[in-house]
Amino acid sequence: MDNALRLQYLEAMGITSWVSREPPQDEITGLAPDPFDGLAVNPQAADAWEALQAEVAACTKCGLCTTRKNTVFGSGNKTADWLFIGEGPGQHEDEQGLPFVGNAGQLLTEMIRALGLGRDEVYIANIVKCRPPNNRDPHADEVASCHDYLQRQIALIQPKIILAVGRIAAQTLLNTDAPLSKLRGKVHTLDATPLIVVYHPAYLLRSLLEKRKAWQDLQFAMRTLQEQQ
């Protein structure tokens, strides 16, 4: 059941008190707190996260800052084993300030569930933190301007495995022009962390037949992580 429907049911049952209509705002970003926030981190790491989040929220390092509604920092468990990295925010993400919350996001959430995990157990970030207009691919200078933020997120999370979600994320992280079909099904590494390339859920929405391949990618990622342990 989707959330809107769930709320309608609850309302019909007279249960409204637990739903805060105006969620408290985060002091730094002005947005509602990350609904997928996982475990607490140690105080030192918490300070580093806060500083990083404040920098991104105020960032004007590239032209995307002029058209964004909100920055999309990333969300989830800051000590996750699994880090998912997408390309950049789309319309819904830009509006809500959260990654992967549109249609593709729902499918990514399903992919995460298929791994036996919830969104509060993984971390999800993007290559660029601001939406490229009309969902165009981010330009090289935008990717370069934004890269330091992602690197700092990776250093703080120290994931056991990184999933590059879709072609743009994969090509950027691996610094290659190779097509996605050549990149999936292999264990790459990013600074000694295993990195697996998976189909982008937006692509799967267009091409349902490819879902099987996506499931193979996830099983491959699971085996890779198991072999690390």
Binding site for ligand SF4 (CB under 6 A): 56, 59-62, 64-65, 71, 128-130, 142, 145-146
Check residue 125 and report its DSSP letter: E
Question: Which residue, 36 or 40, is less far from ligand URA as judged by CB?
Answer: 36
Indicate which single residue of 38, 74, 76, 89 sits in contact with ligand URA (rule: CB under 6 A). 89
Q: Where are the alpha helices (DSSP H) in 175-210?
A: 180-183, 201-206
> To the nearest whole angstrom, how small is the minimum distance from the Cβ of residue 62 to ligand SF4?
3
Cα distance between residue 83 and residue 76, in whole Å: 9
We find the least distance from the C-beta atom of residue 129 to ligand SF4, in angstroms, to be 4
Count interface residues toward ligand URA (CB under 6 A).
12
Strand-pair partners of 84: 124, 163
As to burial, measured by CB atoms within 10 angstroms (0-12 exposed, 13-18 middle, 19+ buried), residue 209 is exposed
Between CA 19 and CA 192 the distance in angstroms is 43
* Nearest-approach distance from CB 131 to ligand URA, in angstroms: 9
Nearest 5°: the CA angle 171, 173, 177 is 20
Smallest distance, Å, CB 34 to ligand SF4? 17
Please say which residue, 93 or 121, places its beta carbon nearer to ligand URA. 93
Between 88 and 159, whose beta carbon lies closer to ligand SF4? 88
* 87 touches ligand URA by CB under 6 A: yes
The rounded distance, in Å, linking the Cα atoms of 154 and 83 is: 8
By CB under 6 A, what part of segment 124-163 binds ligand URA?
126
Where does residue 152 fall: left (phi above 0), alpha (psi -120 to 50 degrees), or beta otherwise? alpha
Which spans of this chain sit near ligand URA (rule: CB under 6 A)? 86-90, 93, 99-100, 104-105, 126, 202
